[in-house]
Amino acid sequence: MPQDRRQFLLAASAIAGAFSLGSNAAAIAKARPKVVIVGAGFGGAACARYLKLWEPRVEITLIEPNAQFVSCPMSNTVIAGLNKLEDITFPYRYIQASVDRFVPDTVTAIDPVKRSVATAGGLTFSYDRLVLAAGVELMFDQIQGYDSAARQTVKHAWKAGPEQTGVLRKQLEAMPDGGVFVLAMPRAPFRCPPAPYERVSLIANYFKQAKPRCKIILLDGNEDIISKKALFTTAWQKHYGFGTEHSMIDYRPNNLASAIDAKAMKIGTEFEDVKGDVINLIPPMRAAAITGLIGARTGDGGKNGGNWCPVDYTSMESTEVPNVHILGDSILSNLSKAGALANNSGKLCASALVEIFNGRRPDPAPVVTSTCYSASTDHTAFHVATVFRYQAADKSMEVQPGGGVSLVESELEFKMMRGWARNIWADTLGLPLKYRFTNRI
Which three-class secondary structure string do you get for 85-98? HHHHEECCHHHHHC
pLDDT at 4 over 70: no
Kindly state whether residue 426 falls inside one of the protein's structural domains.
no
Kindly state whether residue 218 falls inside one of the protein's structural domains.
yes
Cα–Cα distance measured from residue 215 to residue 220, given in angstroms and rounded to the nearest whole number: 16
Mean per-residue pLDDT, 58-64: 98
Write the pLDDT tens digit of every residue in 362-373.
Answer: 999 999 999 999
Residue at a domain's end among 336, 362, 388: 362
Q: Note the pLDDT of residue 61.
A: 98
Q: What is the CATH number of the domain that holds 207?
A: 3.50.50.60
Shared-domain flag, residues 115 and 205: no
Task: Say how many domains are in the chain.
Answer: 2
Share of the chain above pLDDT 90, in %: 90
Residue at a domain's end among 304, 332, 362: 362
Kindly state whether residue 350 falls inside one of the protein's structural domains.
yes
Torsion-angle region of residue 119: left (phi > 0), alpha (psi -120 to 50) or beta?
A: beta
Q: How many CB atoms neighbour CB 254 within 10 A?
A: 14
Cα–Cα distance measured from residue 298 to residue 287, given in angstroms and rounded to the nearest whole number: 10
Q: Note the pLDDT of residue 13.
A: 45
What domain range includes position 204?
141-283
Kindly state whether residue 354 falls inside one of the protein's structural domains.
yes
Mean per-residue pLDDT, 116-144: 98
Q: HSE, CB side, 13 Å, CA atoms: give it for residue 275.
A: 3
Shared-domain flag, residues 181 and 231: yes
Residue at a domain's end among 240, 266, 283: 283
Kindly state whether residue 420 falls inside one of the protein's structural domains.
no
Average per-residue pLDDT for the chain: 93
Shared-domain flag, residues 51 and 63: yes
Q: Note the pLDDT of residue 425.
A: 98
Cα–Cα distance measured from residue 45 to residue 425, given in angstroms and rounded to the nearest whole number: 10
Shared-domain flag, residues 255 and 158: yes
Mean per-residue pLDDT, 121-143: 97
Shared-domain flag, residues 164 and 268: yes
Kindly state whether residue 74 falls inside one of the protein's structural domains.
yes
Q: Which amino acid is at 68?
A: Q
Write the pLDDT tens digit of every residue in 228-242.
Answer: 999 999 999 999 999
Mean per-residue pLDDT, 418-424: 98
Cα–Cα distance measured from residue 418 to residue 341, given in angstroms and rounded to the nearest whole number: 18
Cα–Cα distance measured from residue 375 to residue 414, given in angstroms and rounded to the nearest whole number: 7
Shared-domain flag, residues 262 and 300: no
How do the residues of the chain divide into helix, strand and coil, expressed in percent and rounded to 5?
35, 25, 40
pLDDT at 304 over 70: no
3 state SS of 252: strand
Kindly state whether residue 240 falls inside one of the protein's structural domains.
yes
